[in-house]
Structure 1
């Protein structure tokens, strides 16, 4: 006769080992705009970036950077700073690029739903380029997205 005393423990072990080795379905992914964002100098723009499925990132770090900026090779202590960093529930100004001071913001009331879009006010031609939205500690294989901003002096917004 078979002894089924250990059946619940064996079943639990199988379930747990399967959960550890199986990739999580519905894992949040960082998604940005596939189309470039085009603006005229002086415009305010929103660089769209969000998590799909929606995921609360209020307690995570959100970094916005310009990945094409490189540190000054002649300055050993130079570093590449950020366009915007949200950490510990607020904006962190310590590593922010000077040219973005007072011009960037996240929609903090929407972080709970995974909206990590960045608003930049009064864009200049120097703001053009690639931007990376990145959540370093997101439990996901897709933690970042690249968004292209084109600042075109000939661009006229249609209403």
Structure 2
């Protein structure tokens, strides 16, 4: 094998290795300064009638006032039998204002964004007077954001037992300062009963001893009677 052929093959090997290494780095290395849409890893739990906030923001801080912001429920699918059906939005912000015409009827006048905070990247959604029908996953999406992460998902759980669990727990019982009943009344009553029982037992024992002694005094021996009936000497 000539030296030129060896050099050519060796150069191809290093070129291929360099290409694979650069490709791997481009996949695993995040782009510095890239803006990401961040949601919440924990579900938002509320009780019926509460006002809730579904948190979502951009990191690092980025002004989204001039972009489109879409809030939808990704688990809702269009009717396959109706080709003209579409998935409506929970809230749609476009051209610096809300677009109510493409909004789900059940969320009409119940959702809002924090308009003043959008310049700081806050795209959290506030939902008023939630009910159990609002349960599910919500997706915040910025379609024109120059980023690989344009959306985030937040889960909402509306549970009627949530308020009962958080407010009806039995508190620790503390004595009422106005309660005049002594705390050791039960123990005192037991002591009095035991004392009365002891006195009664002593009294019964005394009566038994008394009757026994009285019976012995009335029953006399024969020799005692002869002594008593012996006539006096003349």
1:76 Cα offset (Å): 2.1
Alignment of 1:9-20 (within 5 A): none
What runs of 5+ residues in structure 2 fail to find an aligned partner? 1-25, 168-234
Higher-Rg member (1/2)? 2
Indicate whether 1:155 and 2:162 are aligned.
Answer: yes
1:94 Cα offset (Å): 1.9
Deviations 1:14-62 (A, max 9, x none): xxxxxxx997412110000100000001100000000000100000000
What runs of 5+ residues in structure 1 fail to find an aligned partner? 1-20
What corresponds to 2:69 in structure 1? 62
Indicate whether 1:29 and 2:61 are aligned.
Answer: no
1:72 Cα offset (Å): 1.6
Return the TM-score normalized by structure 2: 0.57
Q: Distance in 1 between matches of 2:113 and 2:133?
A: 20
Pick one of 41, 46, 54 that aligns with 1:47. 54
Q: Distance in 1 between matches of 2:105 and 2:157?
A: 20
Q: Distance in 1 between matches of 2:88 and 2:35?
A: 26
Q: Larger % of helix: which?
A: 2
What corresponds to 1:8 in structure 2? none
Q: Distance in 2 between matches of 1:142 and 1:78?
A: 28
Q: Distance in 2 between matches of 1:74 and 1:23?
A: 42
What corresponds to 2:88 in structure 1? 81
Secondary structure in 1 aligned to 2:162?
Answer: coil
Indicate whether 1:136 and 2:138 are aligned.
Answer: no
What corresponds to 2:117 in structure 1? 110
Pick one of 99, 110, 114 that aligns with 1:92. 99
What corresponds to 2:227 in structure 1? none
1:74 Cα offset (Å): 2.5
* Consecutive aligned runs of 4 or more in structure 1 exceeding 6 Å deviation: none
Q: Distance in 2 between matches of 1:66 and 1:115?
A: 19
What corresponds to 1:10 in structure 2? none
Q: Larger % of strand: which?
A: 1
Report the CA distance shift for 1:35/1:23 in structure 2 as closer, same or farther (over 3 A): closer
Q: Distance in 1 between matches of 2:88 and 2:100?
A: 10
Cα RMSD over matched residues? 1.8
